[in-house]
Structure 1
C-alpha cells in the first residue's frame, strides 16, 4: 500500500469520524460553549453608609431614536425595556458634622445632617419589541445609553417616593433612642429637631393607646 493510498484512507476516516461526531452532537442537542471571565479589583474604600429603607419598583421604559436619511426620510429604531429594581435609601455618615460636648456634658449636638440618598439600585432589565431601522441599527452604545437612562429614571422615582421620608424618620428616631439609652440628650438641626419631636409625640401617643392609658 503506497503513501497516497494511506493518506486517502486517513482523510476518509477522519472525515467519517467528524461526520459521526456531528451527527451525535445534533442528536444529543449539546454544544461546547467556552466562557472566560476576568475579575479586576480597582480599589477598596472605607465607607460609613447606613441603609434605612428599601423599595421595589417596576417600570416600562420606551426608547425611540429617529434618524433622517438624506435629511428627508425617517429611519426610526425603538425598543421597550421592562425594569424591576430594588432601591436602597440611606445616609452617608461621613457627611455628618457634630460638635464635641464639653467634659462631663451628656449632649450630642448635630450641626449638619445630610439628606437621604439612593445608596444602590439593583436592577433586572429585559428588552422587548426591539425594532431596528433599515440603516439605523442598534449597537452596544445604544444599549448602554438605554440602561443608563432607565436607571436614572428609577433613581428619580425613588427620591420622589416616600422612601426618603421613611429613611429620615427611621434614622432620627434610632439616633434618639440610642442617645437616650446611654443617658445622652440629642440635639439635631432645627428642621430635623421638629421632625424628631413630632415622631416622639406620635410614639408616645401610640404607646398610650396600646396600654390603654388616656391620662
Structure 2
C-alpha cells in the first residue's frame, strides 16, 4: 500500500506541475498577442487621424489697386512723341492654401514616435479682374497684346507685394497649425511622441514652420 500511495502522490504532483506549466505558457502567449494587437490598433488609429487632417486649408482675401499705364514712342523730331495711356483698375481674389494630403510622416511603432517629415509650402492663387478706363492712344502707337500682357504682369507683381505685407499668409499658417495640433492631441492622449525637424513637439508653439 505504501508503494501505491507514493505513486499516487507522485502523479498528483506531476499533474500540478503540468497544470502550472500550461498556465504559465498560456499566460505568456496571450499577453504577447495582446501587446502586438494594441500597437497595431494604435498605429491604425493614428493613420486614420492623419487622413482626417489631410484636407485643403484655404484662407481667402480681396485686394484692389488702381494704376496708370503710360507708354511713349519717341520720334526723330524733337518734342514730337506718340503716347498711349490707360487708367487700370484691378480687383483680385486671392487664396492662400495648404494641401495637408501632401504632409509626409514616419511611424515608429516600436518606440511610439510619430515624425512629421515634410509640410508642404503654401499655394497662392491670384485671380485678377482687370478693367481699363480712359484709354488713349495714337495711330502710330496703338494698344497691342503686349501692352495688356505687361499690365497683367505688373498688376500681379504689385499684388504679390501686397500679399506679403498683409496678414493673409500668417492667417493661413495659423489655420494650418490648428489642423496639425490635432496630431499632437492624439499622440499625447495615446502615449506617443510627436517630432518635427528633430524636435519633440509638446505644444503648438513648438511647431515652427
TM-score by length of 2: 0.58
Where does the alignment leave 5 or more consecutive residues of structure 1 unmatched? 1-47, 200-215
Distance in 2 separating the partners of 1:189 and 1:169: 19
Distance 1:194 1:148, change over 3 A: farther
Match of 1:19 in 2: none
Aligned pair count reads 149
Match of 1:144 in 2: 149
How much does 1:89 deviate?
A: 0.4
Answering whether residue 84 of structure 2 is matched by residue 77 of structure 1, we say: yes
Q: 8 Å contact 2:194–2:202 — kept in the other structure?
A: no
Q: Specify the structure having the higher radius of gyration (Cα).
A: 2
Q: 8 Å contact 1:169–1:196 — kept in the other structure?
A: no
How much does 1:194 deviate?
A: 9.9
Where does the alignment leave 5 or more consecutive residues of structure 2 unmatched? 1-53
Match of 1:14 in 2: none
How much does 1:106 deviate?
A: 4.2
Answering whether residue 181 of structure 2 is matched by residue 173 of structure 1, we say: no
TM-score by length of 1: 0.57
Match of 1:188 in 2: 196
The 5 Å alignment of 1:18-97 reads: 50-70=56-76, 72=78, 73-92=80-99, 96=103
How much does 1:145 deviate?
A: 2.0
Distance in 1 separating the partners of 2:163 and 2:136: 30
CA RMSD of aligned residues (A): 3.2
Q: 8 Å contact 1:49–1:90 — kept in the other structure?
A: no
Distance in 1 separating the partners of 2:202 and 2:137: 55
Q: Name whichever structure is richer in helix by fraction.
A: 2
